[in-house]
């Protein structure tokens, strides 16, 4: 039996494993991630795939910290595999950890070891409820601005390549005629996966310090906000055609780096980013830094999450669908 608790941050789900999974070996979180890739694919399918999950499910396995001052570690998973960082997941995980007593922290810092590096979170609480979570992400940077790739069925597409815990291709939706709302999300999936595959085929993507982080996670389309007070709308297509219901915490981090590189976002100034369903995260440049060969920023991302349910996952030995399946 595997016990989990489900939450969502800005509409994007997070299924957090509470018990039923043995400790994951590894002296670092990237080592633990590699172990999970080799040995825990069945567990990932059980938790993410139908009939217990769905094609757009997202999950987290808390681990012991791997740094002397860390409070916990985390591995994130989705329909394709094990991700390197997840912003909405940090917001939801911190909310779950505080509201359920996994971590007896209130207003102090919560130091989390993720595959992409150290993330430091702070929660606003009242009456036992977490009202919001802000976190300082890993250094985020721009690899290139205004790159061009030939995409089958779409022609020449201009994109920015940036890292915010994962690498994304950022594309203006208007020239492609995409509707960045729930009504148009199937066309967004198709275009996003076409662009992702084309960019991957056209260039090498390398992280300065960790080879396991050197891959394109997804495509993020941008457009004008739909509500007052917003800066822009981000719609992220990642993994194997998942659409993030939130504005994407790592995606907003990369966006903060892009806006800063273009001279449109000064340190301390905020952007407010909408999702495909209109929910919001805010982001700002907390500080500037250097990361490998890149000028980088440390972005602070803020949002809110809510617990939605508790589950006991049972796996019957005679269940022919125990390994799970996906219909898209």
The single residue listed with the structure tokens 């012991």 is 64
Query: Does residue 328 sit within a domain?
Result: no
Query: Does residue 322 sit within a domain?
Result: no
Specify whether 69 is located in the same domain as 203: no
Specify whether 244 is located in the same domain as 208: yes
Specify whether 160 is located in the same domain as 287: yes
pLDDT value at residue 108: 82
What's the domain count of the chain? Answer: 2
Specify whether 145 is located in the same domain as 185: yes
CATH number of the domain enclosing 266: 3.10.310.10
Angstrom CA distances, 266 to 49, 87, 228, stand at: 42, 22, 21
Specify whether 7 is located in the same domain as 87: yes
CA dist., res. 253 & res. 282, Å (int)? 10
Of the candidates 87, 80, 75, the residue with the CA atom closest to the CA atom of residue 12: 87
Tell me the pLDDT tens digit for each residue of 256-290.
999 999 999 999 999 999 999 999 999 999 999 99
236 is known as an active-site residue:
no
Of the candidates 235, 217, 214, 324, the residue with the CA atom closest to the CA atom of residue 278: 235
Query: Does residue 56 sit within a domain?
Result: yes
Specify whether 215 is located in the same domain as 273: yes
Query: Does residue 327 sit within a domain?
Result: no
In contact, 296 and 261? CB cutoff 8 Å: no
Query: Does residue 321 sit within a domain?
Result: no
pTM: 0.96
Specify whether 146 is located in the same domain as 121: no
- Give the domain extent around 270: 140-304
pLDDT digit string (tens) for the chain, length 328 residues: 999 999 999 999 999 999 999 999 999 999 999 999 999 999 999 999 999 999 999 999 999 999 999 999 999 999 999 999 999 999 999 999 999 988 876 668 999 999 999 999 999 999 889 999 999 999 999 999 999 999 999 999 999 999 999 999 999 999 999 999 999 999 999 999 999 999 999 999 999 999 999 999 999 999 999 989 999 999 999 999 999 999 999 999 999 999 999 999 999 999 999 999 999 999 999 999 999 999 999 999 999 999 999 999 999 999 999 889 998 7
The conformation of residue 27, written as its DSSP 8-state character, comes to: S
Specify whether 184 is located in the same domain as 298: yes
Which residue out of 86, 92, 123, 298 is catalytically annotated? 86
Of the candidates 272, 277, 276, the residue with the CA atom closest to the CA atom of residue 302: 272
Query: Does residue 128 sit within a domain?
Result: yes
Specify whether 129 is located in the same domain as 144: no
In contact, 165 and 137? CB cutoff 8 Å: yes
Specify whether 93 is located in the same domain as 235: no
Specify whether 71 is located in the same domain as 171: no
Query: Does residue 180 sit within a domain?
Result: yes
- Cα radius of gyration rounded to whole Å, the chain: 19
Specify whether 292 is located in the same domain as 154: yes
Of the candidates 2, 197, 311, the residue with the CA atom closest to the CA atom of residue 189: 197
């Amino acid at each position: 039996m595997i016990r989990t608790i489900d939450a969502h941050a800005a509409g994007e789900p997070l299924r957090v494993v509470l018990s039923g999974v043995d400790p994951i070996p590894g002296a670092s979180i990237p080592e633990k991630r590699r172990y999970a890739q080799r040995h825990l694919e069945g567990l990932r399918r059980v938790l993410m795939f139908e009939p217990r999950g769905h094609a757009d499910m997202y999950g987290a396995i808390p681990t012991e910290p791997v740094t002397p001052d860390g409070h916990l570690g985390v591995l994130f998973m989705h329909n394709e595999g094990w991700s390197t960082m997840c912003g909405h997941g940090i917001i939801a995980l911190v909310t779950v950890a505080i509201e359920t007593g996994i971590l007896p922290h209130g207003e102090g810092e919560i130091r989390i070891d993720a595959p992409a590096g150290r993330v430091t979170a702070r929660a606003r609480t009242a009456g036992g409820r977490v009202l919001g979570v802000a976190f300082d992400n890993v250094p985020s940077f721009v690899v290139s601005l205004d790159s061009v790739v030939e995409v089958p069925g779409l022609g020449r597409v201009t994109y920015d390549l940036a890292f915010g815990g994962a690498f994304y291709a950022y594309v203006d939706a208007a020239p492609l005629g995409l509707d960045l709302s729930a009504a148009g999300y199937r066309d967004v999936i198709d275009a996003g996966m076409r662009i992702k595959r084309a960019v991957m085929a056209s260039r090498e993507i390398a992280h300065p310090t960790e080879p396991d982080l050197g891959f394109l996670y997804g495509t993020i389309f941008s457009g004008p906000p739909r509500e007052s007070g917003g800066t822009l709308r981000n719609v992220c297509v990642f993994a194997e055609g998942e659409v993030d219901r939130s504005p994407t915490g790592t995606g907003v981090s990369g966006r903060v780096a892009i806006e800063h590189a273009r001279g449109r976002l000064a340190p301390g100034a905020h952007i407010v980013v909408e999702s495909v369903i209109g929910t919001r995260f805010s982001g700002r440049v907390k500080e500037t830094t250097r990361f490998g060969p890149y000028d980088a920023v440390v972005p602070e991302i803020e949002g809110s999450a809510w617990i939605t349910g508790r589950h006991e996952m049972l796996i019957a030995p005679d269940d022919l669908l125990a390994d799970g399946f996906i219909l898209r």
